[in-house]
Amino acid sequence: MDMELLKYIMIASIIVETVMVCMIIVMQTKIAKYQRKIYFIKRDRERCNEVLYSAKDGYFCFVYPDQKVKDAQKGIVEKCSRRMAVILGLKSGTAASFSEVADSFYKEDARILKKYVTLLQQEGHAFEDVLRLKGNQRPVCVYGSRINGADNNLYCDIIWCRDVSTQVEKINILEDEITTAQNHVKELENMVDGVNYPLWLRDESLNLITVNKKYVEYSMLNNKNEVINQGIELSNVNGEVVAKRVALEAQKSKKLQKKSFKMVRGGALYNYEIQENPYFVGDTLDKVGTVGYLADNTELEQLKRSFKANQNSHLEILGTLGTAFAIFDGRGNLFFYNNAFRDLWGLDNEFLEKNPTYLQFLETVRERKMLPPVPDYKAYKEDEMSVFGGLLETREDLLHLPDGRAIRRFRTPHPNGVIFAFEDVSDRLATMRRLNELTSMQQTILDNLSDSVLMFGANQRLKSYNRAYLKLWGLDFDKMQDEPKLDKILAYQKLFFSNVDDWDSFKQSMVSNITEGRKFDLLRDDNVSIAVSPLLFYDGSFMITYTMKSARKGK
């Protein structure tokens, strides 16, 4: 009996030992599994921490105790990242408290941050703001949020900081550029609005995208937005929208297009010209918009009509004058001529009615041996044609024709080309030659007279004198040039009358006697007695003769 009991005890002991070994093995397996799990948890946490540490943003955490653990002994834990300590320049580094974090900002910004954190901790309100650090005024973007678990367990409240000084600087630069651009746009808008005629801009669909104030005035609306929103186009007297059709032509041709335009404004009819000029929209060449404007040509049209009427009147007058006239247009074609031009050059009407060119005119009169002889006819033609397009003022020359005639020619710019005027001055030149011969003969006679002679025109300016006068009064040739007046000629005589107390009265007395034709005598300082004999002519001119009577002996 005892042996069986002992046997059962031994069996039971073996079973217990076996069970214990199995349990130990199972426990060791679980421990190894949990150790491995803890290892990976620690490694993941380290990785997460390193990821957070490597972020550009620094953070500061308020870590709360786990609500499930309910460890009343464990309070809120504050954690500061290395990046946070670097950004804020915290002396305590990662051991810094929130008070030190807040104190790194200016007093007012620190107060704002504390208020943000209070609202975050009490009510979970997230925030974001840009605050300034002490000393360097460096801007830091501070933003905070609450982090909860999937089970709504409160983990922590976290504050992030980011150095935004570079971004703020760029933003400031961009804001300055925006302000400058806005001011420039305003200046351009003021400039465009200051233009005294309607201006507008179209997009690639040829819809109006902007207009100036004058356009709004013409459209009879209140402001630009109404014009753009309603797409108001200017219409002519028939109510037709002409501008958009002109814009379409400009868009297709990619060239400036113009169109006459009539509009009634204030009860009066005005003449306008619409212009649409294409431009490329954006950086591509496949989208074309237009810039348009409306120019008031009413006054210009009236001037054109008035000019045309005056021109026709002038041409009618030219046609009746005895002076030969012809007008050749800018291309050198005959535009107008009068009968005197035809007769002067012996041309027939059939030739002139064909509107010949100026070169054809030259060839025709050359064949008739009526052109002045020239050594190089080709160079002569080129010089003659140079007046077309290059004549800015009147040119005058004298043509000596082979038949002995002298033709005075004028070439003058004209709106339609060049006016040619020809005047036969052969008789006038012959008369001038004869007059010059007579004048020369007269001067010869004067110079051979023993008496001194002066001749004056009706304006009392010297016209002629002889050598005897220069010798009598000791004058040189230069003083008698430029037609000096009578009183100046008499002033040269003053040197011979030093005994005269009042020269001006004495000179005036001489002028009165001469202009009234009264003879008188003069006694000079050198005791020379001179008889002065004025002779008046019917046209107001007069002659003075000085005759030396005698040379008296001294007193």
pLDDT tens-digit series, residues 246-280: 888 888 888 988 887 777 666 667 777 888 889 88
CA dihedral 333, 339, 342, 347 (to 10 degrees): 100
Q: Taking all residues of the chain, what is their mean pLDDT, rounded to a whole number? A: 82
- Kindly indicate the confidence band of residue 161, based on its pLDDT and cuts at 50, 70 and 90: very high
Identify the pLDDT of residue 237.
Answer: 67
Identify the pLDDT of residue 70.
Answer: 56
Instruction: Express as a percent the part of the chain with pLDDT over 90.
Output: 11
Please list the alpha-helical segments (H only) found in 196-297: 213-219, 224-230, 242-253
Tokens encoding 545: 């003769």
Q: Is 187 exposed, middle or buried (0-12, 13-18, 19+ CB in 10 A)?
A: exposed
Tokens encoding 129: 């703001």
Q: Is the CB of residue 480 less than 8 Å from the CB of residue 470?
A: yes
Identify the pLDDT of residue 51.
Answer: 63
Q: What are phi and psi of 133, to 5 degrees?
A: -75, 155
115 or 244: which carries more pLDDT confidence? 115
Q: What is the pLDDT of residues 377-388, one digit of tens each?
A: 888 888 888 888
Task: List the one residue out of 164, 165, 167, 119 whose CA is nearest residue 144.
Answer: 119
- Kindly indicate the confidence band of residue 160, based on its pLDDT and cuts at 50, 70 and 90: very high
The predicted model gives 409-432 an average pLDDT of 79
Task: List the one residue out of 449, 488, 440 whose CA is nearest residue 467.
Answer: 449
pLDDT at 1 over 60: no
Could you give the strand order of the β-sheet that contains 208-211, starting from the edge strand earlier in sequence? 208-211, 199-202, 288-296, 268-280, 257-265
Radius of gyration of the chain measured on its C-alpha atoms: 57
What's the CA gap between 322 and 399, in Å, rounded?
18
What's the CA gap between 380 and 368, in Å, rounded?
17
544 CB-near residues (< 8 Å, 6+ apart): 453, 454, 455, 456, 514, 532, 533, 534, 535
Identify the pLDDT of residue 104.
Answer: 92
Q: What is the pLDDT of residues 83-107, one digit of tens each?
A: 888 888 889 898 999 999 999 999 9
What's the CA gap between 132 and 88, in Å, rounded?
10
CA angle 273–279–282, rounded 5-degree value: 150
pLDDT at 319 over 50: no
What's the CA gap between 244 and 277, in Å, rounded?
12
Instruction: Express as a percent the part of the chain with pLDDT over 70.
Output: 85
pLDDT at 457 over 50: yes
- Number of residues that make up the chain: 555
pLDDT at 243 over 70: yes
Q: Is the CB of residue 547 less than 8 Å from the CB of residue 533?
A: yes
Q: Is the CB of residue 396 less than 8 Å from the CB of residue 387?
A: no
Identify the pLDDT of residue 73.
Answer: 45
Q: What's the pTM value of the predicted model, to 2 decimals?
A: 0.41
Identify the pLDDT of residue 431.
Answer: 64
What's the CA gap between 361 and 316, in Å, rounded?
22
53 or 551: which carries more pLDDT confidence? 53
pLDDT at 306 over 60: no
pLDDT at 313 over 70: no
Residue 87: how many other CB atoms lie within 10 Å: 19
**Residue position matching structure tokens 């007695």:** 529
- Buried residues in 300-338 as b, exposed as e (16+ CB within 10 A): eeeeeeeeeeeeeeeeeebeeeeebbbbbbeebebbbbb
Query: Which residues are 277's β-sheet partners?
Result: 291
- Kindly indicate the confidence band of residue 339, based on its pLDDT and cuts at 50, 70 and 90: confident
pLDDT at 178 over 80: yes
User: What is the amino acid identity at position 375?
Assistant: P
Identify the pLDDT of residue 260.
Answer: 77
Residue 215: how many other CB atoms lie within 10 Å: 25
pLDDT at 77 over 90: no
